[in-house]
Structure 1
Amino acid sequence: MAISIDNPFEPMRSWLFLPGADMDALIAAPTTGADVLVQELEDFTPAALRPKAREIAPQVMNEWRRRGVVPAVRINPLETCGLDDLAGVMPGRPAVVMMSKVESPAQMEALAAEITRWEAHLAIPAGSTHIVPNIESALGIVRAIEIAQASKRIPAMLVGTEDMVVDLGADRQRDGAELFYPRSRFLLECAAAGVLAIDSPYTFSDHDGAQADLRTSRAIGYKAKAVVNADLVAMTNRASTPSDEQVAAAHKQIAAFEAALLEGRSRADVDGLVVEYPSYNSAKRILKRHALLSTMVAARERAHATLG
């Protein structure tokens, strides 16, 4: 099943994770250009600093929202300290609550119930807080469809990197060969469930490797990616944005196919590509995505201009 056109996260290309207690980095984060900013309360925040991270979460979420960026947070599983995380962050009204190490629908049902309780307590519009499960194990991947369907709050899911490698017993490699199948299967499961698939982050620091990883990500069909290095945000956004050449080609294919239909033909030849309904619809999706991204980026630029 294709991603719903009503999915508000369909155009979100880059999901930048930030240390949960680093106030300077959190407040400066909107300048990175990331579509979604994630205050990370799990691995990026030592246990001793989590109380501080929870305390500053409302201020951080409000600032991100004011700057026109989607505010998100990643909490620990509820069975560890996730309930404490949730109590700290929900007053900030995050648009997205991610949870790490999700392996079952029951975890999402429990999280959805807690969020519903907090929405009622804080007079937050019911159902407005979205959930993005983080899948970081083989068990999570084989249950991905069930997890995605556990709550109507779930518009997207994210596949992890380092914990996934550990769970598989694999060796971490710069070319990501050990993750190719998990990433591919996860994408397939998300497409079947009708949710946006967010690709695993590239966790090395070299730009050439990151570029190669993005090429692989796009080649197998991802349109969104987790980012743990702010320097890679612009590269990630470019990779997931239709280029001028793609937009021009899409216009050409659509025009040729529609002209062929008017002439009673069911296909058109455009620069060696046989354009039929599947490629015609693909071209229309490219133009729709380009329009969505243009609107989103323009709105963010207006917010930045207004705030100086």
Structure 2
Amino acid sequence: MTRPIAARRTWIFAPGADEAALRRAAEAGPDVLIQDLEDFTPPQLKAQARRLCRPIAEACRASGVIPAVRLNPLEHVGHDDLAAAMRAGIGVILLAKTAGPEQVAALDRQIARHERDLGLAIGATEIVPNVETAAALVRITAMAEASPRVTAMLLASEDLAADIGVGRTPGSEELAYARSRFLFECVAAGVLAIDCPYTFSRREDVDRDLDFALARGFKAKALVDPAQVAPVAARLTPSDEQMRAALRLIATFEQARDRGVTPAELDGHRIEVPSYKAALRLLDRAAVLGVTIPAAL
């Protein structure tokens, strides 16, 4: 891939058979463009969508965007989706409605077969299961362990709400527990947690939804609106203010440590080792994202 998994902040879905929409989404500059061959593509247009896999993947690569495809489950028409994606050289495969590890393992085997037949690097294709039910939410570790190809998981919003029997609201309170648990499960499993797409359009609601995600530690967000790509990416990127604060905390902690003074204090607050390590992680993330870190204070 052109970008490590930790640096993929924005994952945008676009209808699989709508070439204009796919190109608009790519032009918005997401980290990953997901050509959706599942719910966003009606049955009569799926063949047309598969034919678009190659040209859309080429357009993505030309603009520095990682191309991805979301497949229908293999037990439906997913085999045809996978064949089209693999022929197009798409290296990130999202599996819709993943129910458990057996589906992940089956997809792993099919991908390996295509890699061998097409002369592709064995093991290079990634799997991103989509968690869309309560049953899948509690099996994240098992799904991650089912294949070394699993690098991330994506949480659905509309399907998950339907599965647990609640309606969607602009505040998304109905998904608060599921989103928090999803993040914890993914961290424990060692995979990137991609927060669910926000399907309302008012800017203040979008900002509030992202506030929730950031406060809990999400580093990646699914999207459906190209207009949200730039602001969401900005919020998921360390700002100059955050980096300067981190540099100041690190300098204060290290100076106190070198003098044998513990605990260090900054602006009346104790600086414990976890806070110091969090500041170091923030700068590491900035480096992964290619952000210029300000000069040390």
Give TM class, smaller chain: over 0.9
* Equivalent residue for 1:40, pick from 36, 42, 45: 36
What pairs up with 1:71-150 in 2 under 5 angstroms?
71-150=67-146
Bigger Cα displacement from structure 2, 249-258 vs 61-70: 61-70
2:256 aligned with 1:260: yes
Question: Residue 118 of structure 1: CA displacement?
Answer: 0.6
Match of 2:212 in 1: 216
Match of 1:270 in 2: 266
2:8 aligned with 1:21: no
Contact 1:93 1:129 in 2 (8 A): no
Gaps of 5+ in 2: 293-297
Q: Deviations over 1:128-179 (max 9, x none)?
A: 1100000000000011111111110011101100000000001211100000
Q: Which amino acid aligns with 2:50?
A: R
* Distance across 2 between alignment mates of 1:286 and 1:185: 23
Match of 1:51 in 2: 47
Structure 2 residue matching 1:17: 3-state secondary structure? strand
2:127 aligned with 1:151: no
TM-score (structure 1 length as normaliser) = 0.91
Contact 1:211 1:235 in 2 (8 A): no
Structure 2 residue matching 1:167: 3-state secondary structure? helix
Structure 2 residue matching 1:203: 3-state secondary structure? coil
Contact 1:148 1:193 in 2 (8 A): yes
Q: Classify 1:260/1:111 alpha carbon distance in 2 versus 1 (closer, same or farther; 3 Å).
A: same
Calculate percent identity across the aligned residue pairs. Answer: 47
Question: Residue 295 of structure 1: CA displacement?
Answer: 5.8
Q: Classify 1:252/1:81 alpha carbon distance in 2 versus 1 (closer, same or farther; 3 Å).
A: same
2:209 aligned with 1:180: no
Question: Residue 241 of structure 1: CA displacement?
Answer: 0.8
* Distance across 2 between alignment mates of 1:220 and 1:280: 19
2:234 aligned with 1:235: no
Match of 1:301 in 2: none
TM-score (structure 2 length as normaliser) = 0.95
Structure 2 residue matching 1:10: 3-state secondary structure? helix
Contact 2:249 2:279 in 1 (8 A): yes
Question: Residue 124 of structure 1: CA displacement?
Answer: 1.0
Q: Deviations over 1:222-258 (max 9, x none)?
A: 1100001111111211111111111000000111111
Structure 2 residue matching 1:79: 3-state secondary structure? helix
* Distance across 2 between alignment mates of 1:51 and 1:102: 22
* Distance across 1 between alignment mates of 2:257 and 2:291: 31
Q: Classify 1:93/1:295 alpha carbon distance in 2 versus 1 (closer, same or farther; 3 Å).
A: farther
* Distance across 2 between alignment mates of 1:34 and 1:275: 36
* Distance across 2 between alignment mates of 1:207 and 1:93: 36
Contact 1:112 1:153 in 2 (8 A): yes
* Distance across 2 between alignment mates of 1:28 and 1:226: 16
Q: Once superposed, which parts of structure 1, at least 4 consecutive aligned residues long, lie more than 3 Å away? A: none
Q: Which amino acid aligns with 1:130?
A: E
Contact 2:24 2:226 in 1 (8 A): no
Match of 1:288 in 2: 284
Q: Classify 1:219/1:265 alpha carbon distance in 2 versus 1 (closer, same or farther; 3 Å).
A: same
Match of 1:200 in 2: 196
Contact 2:132 2:155 in 1 (8 A): yes
Gaps of 5+ in 1: 1-6, 297-308
Structure 2 residue matching 1:154: 3-state secondary structure? coil
